[in-house]
Amino acid sequence: MDISAIAKFIKSPTLYIFLTCIISGMFLFLTESFLTDLELISFEKDYKKWVTVVFLFSLGFFVLNLLNMAYKNYQKNYQEKIVEAEINEHKKDSLKK
């Protein structure tokens, strides 16, 4: 297995990781009758272990991406509030003079 393929997947946009998680989750959690209707039951039986691994990794990467985006958003808002507070303080100091 090529390590660069894994690195590309990790760096892929969150939407692709989310879609991979959804599709692999569907293979794992859909009923057997539904998979039979789609003629995917043989694929599911042959590759269930690998689909499970893909699901767990994609879910993990998706959650990590969400946490990373939330942290960056929090950090940006925090820095904006600090700058705004410094500007307000500077305005108050200039008005006192």
d(CA 14, CA 66): 8
Q: Where do the domains of the chain lie?
A: 3-96
Q: What is the pTM of this model?
A: 0.65
* pLDDT score, position 53: 92
d(CA 1, CA 87): 54
Q: What is the pLDDT of residues 66-76, one digit of tens each?
A: 888 888 888 88
d(CA 13, CA 53): 19
